[in-house]
Amino acid sequence: MPANVLSEACAGREPAASGNLQLAFTVAGLRVEMVSVPGGPVLEAYPALDPFLTKSGPAGMSLSVDWAEEIPTPEGRPVFDSGGVWTLYRRGSDSEFIFRSPATGDAPYKAAILDDSFRHGRVLLSRHVFGRMPAVYPLEYPLDELLVIHRLAQGEGVEVHACGVVDERGRGLLFAGHSGAGKSTLARLWQGAGGARILSDDRVILRRDPEPAGRGRILMHGTPWHGEARLALPMAAPLCGVYFLEHALRNEFEALAPGRAAAELLARSFLPYHDAAGLEFALQFFAGVVAETPCSVFRFVPDATAVRGFGGNERVY
């Protein structure tokens, strides 16, 4: 693959400082750096994150990590309740994510406090819950993804529920779909066809190319938050087509008008719905994406014919 078509976001594992007290990964050009304070926990990553670990570079988000004997729940009503393990509170201009689980009792087991720019913050881990572990990953899912989503909402990009494929011609093809739409199935079909690279089979980040030579084109980036196919690469490629997946009895395309395409992208995105400015940015960002990129519904049969000789909107099976 030509170097100007695919760009490596990072390579290799971070050589940890004494006792593995430092850890950093890069996703979509955003480097997240974690540093354990003196006496804090030893850090480690989970296997899917390994390809995204970085050796060096400026940190786009810096986090300190420390133990906490007790993590208090902030006063007042939460800004957002996920209905799962995390709840978001505001403390002044800071955002505070509080994590609870029935498996660990009523008390919070983790907290992450970020400034209003999502560039600096700290993570507190319950010593009672994590203290006996030889090493921990402080941003255990979903916190790592949450922090990246909120940082992107500062006018930097959007994460989409999609499979990202770079075909043998170097074209970035985004196959967007809700759970069960066939993203992982299509990723495996592309992988089996040969010549293509799968950036992710479930979550892809879209950002403007920051390099002058890129002239502001839309890039799609792989993420470590894969789906059932467990496919993820720390790479980026220029976006050349957006396809909304539907199961069908034959393979066919239906071109979409920009307005509908933008709405369909919004419905398949991971957004901080409590953040009005972030939502406004996403709307404007998607308006640019659909104005610059052909968008279609792709109705497909889950077999090799779905990717054989895939040419774009001009081909109808």
Reported as a single tens digit per residue, the pLDDT across 156-200 is 999 999 999 999 889 999 999 999 999 999 999 999 888 899 999
Amino acid at 169: R
Residue in 149, 178, 153 with CA at minimum distance from that of residue 163: 178
CA 219, distance to chain mean position in Å, is 13
Q: Which residues pair with 90 in a beta bridge?
A: 95
Mean pLDDT, range 82-111, rounded to an integer: 95
* Residue 19 pLDDT: 57
Residue 316 has pLDDT above 50, yes or no: no
* Residue 309 pLDDT: 61
Distance CA 106, CA 146 (A): 22
Q: Which phi and psi (to 5°) does residue 264 adopt?
A: -65, -40
Token readout for 191 is 């992988």
Residue 136 has pLDDT above 50, yes or no: yes
State the pLDDT confidence band at 213, using cuts at 50, 70 and 90. confident
Residues constituting the chain: 317
Per the CB < 8 A criterion, the answer to whether 190 and 229 are in contact is no
Higher-confidence residue of 211 and 221: namely 221
* Residue 126 pLDDT: 97
Per DSSP, the three-state class of 306 is helix
Token readout for 187 is 């990723």
Residue in 142, 198, 203 with CA at minimum distance from that of residue 177: 203
Threshold 0.75, pTM exceeds = yes
Per the CB < 8 A criterion, the answer to whether 165 and 49 are in contact is no
Residue 12 has pLDDT above 90, yes or no: no
**Which helix or strand (DSSP H or E) is residue 267 part of?**
helix 258-267
Distance CA 75, CA 14 (A): 38
Domains of the chain: 7-152 (no CATH), 158-306 (3.40.50)
State the pLDDT confidence band at 313, using cuts at 50, 70 and 90. very low
- Radius of gyration of the chain from Cα atoms? 20
Reported as a single tens digit per residue, the pLDDT across 245-260 is 999 999 999 999 999 9
> Average pLDDT, whole number, for the chain?
90
Residue 32 has pLDDT above 80, yes or no: yes
* Residue 308 pLDDT: 82
State the pLDDT confidence band at 30, using cuts at 50, 70 and 90. very high
Distance CA 79, CA 218 (A): 32
Mean pLDDT, range 206-223, rounded to an integer: 91
Amino acid at 97: F
Higher-confidence residue of 16 and 37: namely 37
* Residue 27 pLDDT: 98
Residue 148 has pLDDT above 70, yes or no: yes
